[in-house]
Every structure is written in structure tokens, then in C-alpha cells.
Amino acid sequence: MVTFVDRVTLHLRAGKGGNGCVSVRREKFKPLAGPDGGNGGSGGDIVLVADPQVTTLLSYHHSPHRSAGNGGFGMGDNRSGAAGEPIDLPVPVGTVVKDPDGSVLVDLVEPGMRFVVAPGGQGGLGNAALASPKRKAPGFALLGTPGWEGDVVLELKTVADVALVGFPSAGKSSLIAAISAARPKIAEYPFTTLHPNLGVVQAGDIRFTVADVPGLIEGASEGKGLGLQFLRHVERCTALVHVLDCATLDPGRDPLSDLDVILAELAAYPVPEGQVPLLERPQLIALNKLDVPEAKDLADLVRPELEARGYRVFDISTVSHAGLRELTFALGGIIDEHRAASADAAPPERIVIRPRGSERDFTVRVEGGTYGNIYRILGDKPVRWVQQTDFQNDEAVGFLADRLERLGVEDELYRAGAVAGATVVIGEGDGVVFDWQPSLSSAAELMTAPRGTDPRFDASTRRTTSQRRERYHERMDAKADARAELEAERLAASGEDDS
């Protein structure tokens, strides 16, 4: 049974925004007292919250599908729809949120941090909110937009001050149990520890956390064993303690060769940009299991070599607790110096959000098609406006055309070479396809028409100048022919009388 999970993929669906309402207020003696349709409610957000009480992503491993509530529809009498119910997803401190492509969205390293990973859809405006002095009684409302839907990857990286690294069965779990109140599983076989264990250590006035990283083997940085899964938990640690087994019975193994293998794996593991490489961090050596007589002799043999490499070496025994006090106080000193240096460091640069001003909110991309060029309009605003439009309502479609014209889409299409009848697509993929008619860019708000209609979509019955001229000439020719026929009949009749 899985008891620890540090990487999951969530399938999220935020709430959809509610549709606006089309309604007209009716009072006594005032059957049409003006629009009073309310707005739709916004969809619920999905928020990730860094919770110190959560230590694993196990719950999301079993239930990766999460969705928020939809917004309610607007109603008459200016009643707005209810907002969708948001949901908070608690995650461990140190969780990194990535998109499916691996790009980091946010790093939740502080308790209480909140990140809206899936924003809810926007509620549509009712016809009361759309009314203006020029459009007094709109016969349409805006639809709610869909909420964000997609996948995100949660990756847990343990936040600890010290990481205990070493081969399987080197005694790391026993060490963290001896110096803290942690009670990890301990057994006499390799890979007993299947997930990192955290313990809090008190060394004088200094308190710090220690992470027991599960055993590493040669090739761990290339994915062998569980190396890649657990090496990420070393990234955030300030100092490393190499726990070397001086009582191993495996042939071909000794503390020096074990240390070389672990150092090679740590050097091969890439840390994120801006972090100190693992081998450049403070490192201590703990020669473990010295309660065994043969281990004591081996420790005396390898200690000079380790000290010659520049390491501080501590002889310890997790059974008799020998040397643990010296080790914890040495680690406390390293952590205290690091915290003092971090306090003196310059604070992180404050993020300043500035308005974009007159920056364009869309782009027009020309794509070649089988039957000619396709002009694709991309941008948050045009796509959102299309989602809000009820294409069964001509007035709503005219309102969309006016919004796009005011945004400058009309001029940009002209610059891109579009002509009347060109195929225009709004949004990626299939999007919304229509034949562009520049005449739709006139101001519909100045026109009067029944609610829910737009006269620009009606076929024009007014004749053009050439049609009127042609009709005039036809009438004149018909009159001339009639006069000629009458004249011929008169002449024929007069000739008969003379005879």
C-alpha cells in the first residue's frame, strides 16, 4: 500500500460562470419600465494552500480529479446569481507546481501561501448592466465563460535544514530516531525507508529540522532505484551529513568507496537555477555503527583519509548514542551561521505590477488554407467576448461586432490584407469561424430596432443608384414604345379613312 507520494498529476476543472438574465421590469401603468436582468455569478476557483500540517500528496494520488462549483444564473428584478463554491487544496510546504510541460508555475515554500491554480469563469452581465443612454433596453445578455480546465503537476521537495544521505542500511533512520522525536520504520534489510522522514533537533538554543533521505545507490541520478524520486528532497537542505556504514558485510564496500559513489550521484543531479550545487554546501561525515568492534578499527583506518579531504568527521553510534551530541551541535552551528547570513542578505526584489496601457490585447495571424487565407484573431479579450456571445441572438452578435471594432480588430484585418468575405477565426483550433463583413462595424447603438434584433443583419431592400437609373431608363423606353405603337395605330386608322 502506498503511504507516501511526492509527485502527482491533478486534473482540475474550475467553475463555469453563470449566464446573465434578459428581463424587462413591469409595473402598474408601466408595462415596459426598463431592463432589470441580473448578472450571472462567477465560477469557483481552485486554490492550492501550503499547509504545515500536510506532509504527503497521498490524498491527491487517490483522488486526482477536483472541480469547483459553477456560478448561478442571473434573474429578473436585478438579482445576481450566486458565486460558485471555491475549493482549497492543502498541500505540503515545499510543493512545486508545474504545468504538464515542466514549467514551474509557483513554489509554495512558505506556510500559508495561496495560489489560484484554476481560476473560475466570469459571470455574464445581464441586460440591466448592458443598458446605456444609446441602448436603453438591450434584448440580450452575456453568457458566462467556462472556468480553467487542465492538468497540473505537484512535486514535493522536503523543506529541511539538514539532509542525511548514504547507502541503504547505513543507519540514517536510526540516526534521526536517536537525535529527534521522529519514529521512522527501522529494519535489517535495504530500502526500509520508502519516503523521507523529518525530525526536529534541539542543539542548545538552536532548533533545526533533519530529513532522512532514503538510501541511494550507484546510478541514482540516472533514475536507478528510487534515486531521482528522493534526490529532489535534498535540494532545499542547507547542509549534508554523509552517514557511512563502518560495519557493512557487503563485499567490495567500504566507507571511502561508499562516499565516492554518493558524491558522484550528488554531483550529477542538476539543481534548479539560482541554487547552490549540492557538493558546494557544508558537508559532514558520520562514521556510524562504532558500537561494533570491527567498525571501530575500520573508522580509525579511514578517518585520516577523510580529514585529508577536508571533511569534519564524527564517530557515532545510534545504539549507544556516542558522538551524537557533538554531531548535533556542529550542525547547529552551521545552521545558525546560514540563518544569520540569510538575515543579512538583501530582501528579494518586490514584484511591481503595472498596467499595460495602450498595449494591444490581440494579434492577427494569417494562415494559408485550401480556399485562401484564414485570418486568425488571438487574444484573451476577443476569445472571452466570443464565449460571452449568444449567437442565436442577432443583437448580441452585433454587440460583439461593435466590441471588436472598438478594440481595433477591423483596422488590423485591413492591414493584414483581409477583404470582404474573408474567413476569420477567433481563437485557437476550430474557434469561431465567420465571413468578415466590414459593414458590420457601424455603430449599432445609434439604430433603433426591436429587442434581440440588429438591422445590420437584415438584407437591404433599398435600391442602388445604378438600379434606380436602370429602372428609370426601362420606364422611359416602355413609354416611348407605347407612344410609337399608338402613333402607328393612329396612322393606320387615318389611312383607312382616306380610302
Q: Which residues belong to the annotated binding site for GTP?
A: 166-173, 191-195, 212-215, 288-291, 317-319
Integer Cα distance of 48 and 115 in angstroms: 5
Query: String of b and e for 174-205 (b: at least 16 CB within 10 Å)?
Result: bbbbbbbebebeeeeeeebbebbbbbebebee
Q: Which residues contact 301 (CB under 8 A, 6 or more apart)?
A: none
Cα 237 from chain centroid (whole Å): 27
Q: Exposed, middle or buried by CB within 10 Å (0-12, 13-18, 19+), for 6?
A: buried
Distance of alpha carbon 286 from alpha carbon 281, whole angstroms: 16
What angle, rounded to 10 degrees, do the helices at 324-344 and 172-179 form?
80
**What is the helix (H) or strand (E) element at residue 263, kind and residue range?**
helix 255-268
Annotated binding-site ranges for Mg(2+): 173, 193
Residues in binding site: 166-173, 191-195, 212-215, 288-291, 317-319
**β-bridge mates for residue 426, sequence order:** 377, 432
Q: With b meaning 16 or more CB within 10 Å and e meaning fewer, what string describes 253-274?
A: eebeebbebbbebbeebebeee
The distance of Cα 412 from the centroid of its chain, to the nearest Å, equals 30
Ordered strands of the 432-435 beta sheet: 363-369, 372-378, 423-426, 432-435
Which of 291, 294, 285, 286 has the alpha carbon at shortest distance from 319? 291
Q: Is the Cβ–Cβ distance between 379 and 409 less than 8 Å?
A: no
